[in-house]
Amino acid sequence: MESATDDVVPAKESGGFTSHCVHLEAGPSQFTVRALKMQGSTMLIINPKESEVFEELAVGMPSRNPASSESISSTILGGHGQTDSSVLAGKLSKRYCRQFYVSLNLKLDRLVGPLFEKALVTYMQDHLEHFA
């Protein structure tokens, strides 16, 4: 079961930037999602609710080829190769056709991972103005 908790921090706008914070639940786990929407890109920092860290950062961007629906992603900071952050950045970039910077600082297993991703995507679709 996934849901957003009631303690949503209202979005703030400053010079074309919009920030938003929400606590999501996916199964037994709770997560904090911080979003910074900029012109043409979005940055997501995702942590367990009880602790906030910044361990890795990845970027995903849509292909420049208009005929392609693919996206590319790369890890900027932290892990090596294809990290959870780079996978999520690539998926979000492909879905929303914009650049995403993602810092996914969670230890996701095969059970919680899909629940988390569904909770995040559902929340983003319902509150698209904060993300795209």
What was the pLDDT predicted at 29?
Answer: 87
Q: How many residues does the chain have?
A: 132
Whether 6 has a pLDDT exceeding 90, the answer reads no
Instruction: Look at 50 and 125; give whichever has higher pLDDT.
Output: 125
Do 43 and 20 form a contact (C-beta atoms < 8 A)? no
Strand 17-26 versus strand 2-4 pairing type = antiparallel
The answer, yes or no, to whether residue 88 has pLDDT greater than 90, is: yes
Distance CA 107, CA 84 (A): 9
Mean pLDDT along residues 49-65: 90
Phi–psi pair at 84, nearest 5 degrees:
-60, -35
Domain boundaries, the chain: 2-123
- pLDDT tens readout for residues 102-130: 999 998 888 888 999 999 999 999 999 99
- pLDDT of res. 1: 44
State the average pLDDT over residues 7-25. Answer: 74
Instruction: Give the pLDDT band (50/70/90) at residue 12.
Output: low
pLDDT-derived band at 34, boundaries 50, 70, 90:
very high
pLDDT value, residue 2: 45
Cβ distance 102 to 92 under 8 Å?
A: yes
Whether 95 shows a pLDDT value over 60: the answer reads yes
CATH number belonging to domain 2-123: 3.30.230.90
